[in-house]
Amino acid sequence: MAARVALTTDIGEGLGRWSLGDDEALLEIVTSANIACGFHGGDPGIMRRTCALSVKNGVAIGAQVSYRDLHGFGRRYIAIPGEELRDDLLYQMGALEVFARLAGGKVDFIRAHGALYNVTAKDTEHAQALVDATVEFDAKLPLLCQVGTEAWRLGQEAGLRLIPEAFVDRAYTPEGLLQPRTEPNALLTDADEAAARAVRMVTEGRIVANDGSEIEITAEALLVHCDTPGAVEIARKTRAALEAAGVELIPMR
C-alpha cells in the first residue's frame, strides 16, 4: 500500500492590513491548513477568508492555537497556569469553528503554534492544557504533534487520535526535536533539498540531524511554514516530489 501523508502549511497569519506569506498560492498546493486563530496572528476577517478559500480548494481546516502573544507572533513562552491556557485554547478553537461553518466546512484537526508547540514537547502542565482543550472541544479530532513528546504521551493517555508531524523546512536536533529558530541554519530554504528530504522522511522514516547523525522520524503530516523564504516553491516542489515517489497526498481529517 502506498504511503499517505498530509501536506500542511501555517496560514492566515496576517493581521489587519499586514499580510504574511502567499496564502492563496499555498492553498492551491497543500492539502491541509493550520489557520491562525487570532492570538498570534490572524483576525476575524482573515480567519473568515482563509476558511472560505480552504473549503473552496478542498483543504482541511486546522485550528492552529497559540499563547496570547500577538506582539511576539506566538514565539515567546508565556508563564500561564494550565487551566487558563486551556480556556485560551478553547476560545481560539471556537472562534475558528464559527468561520469554518460559515464557509461550509468545520475544524478538522488541532495543532499548536510556535512556542506553545515547542513547550508542549517537554512541559507537562502546558501539554496537558493542550490535550484537555482538544478533548473538551471535540475528542474525535486529531491532534498534530511530534512522537515522543509530552503532548504525544498525554494525548495517548486521553485516547486522542494523534498524527505524527514532521517539518519540511526546519532543522532537527539529534533528539528529534526542532532546532531553535534563533540558531544558525535552523531554516531549510533550498526547495530541491527540502523536497528530497520530505520524500525520505515519508518513505524511509529517516532524516539527517543538525550534527550530521541520522535519526528516525515518523511523518503522517508534513509542514511548510508560510513565512519561510521561498515557501510557495518549497511546497510546490515537495508536493511534486512526493507524488513522483508514489506518495498519496490527503487532507488531514
Model pTM?
0.95
Query: Rg of the Cα trace of the chain?
Result: 17
Residue-range domain boundaries for the chain: 4-249
Give the amino acid at 223.
L
Q: Where are the beta strands (DSSP E) in 66-213?
A: 109-112, 142-145, 161-167, 206-208
Highest CATH level, class, for 4-249: alpha beta
Interval 47-84: pLDDT, tens: 999 999 999 999 999 999 999 999 999 999 999 999 99
Enter the C-alpha cell of residue 158: 486521553
The residue written with cell numbers 485560551 in the block is 88
Interval 110-162: pLDDT, tens: 999 999 999 999 999 999 999 999 999 999 999 999 999 999 999 999 999 99
Q: DSSP letter for 35, please.
A: E
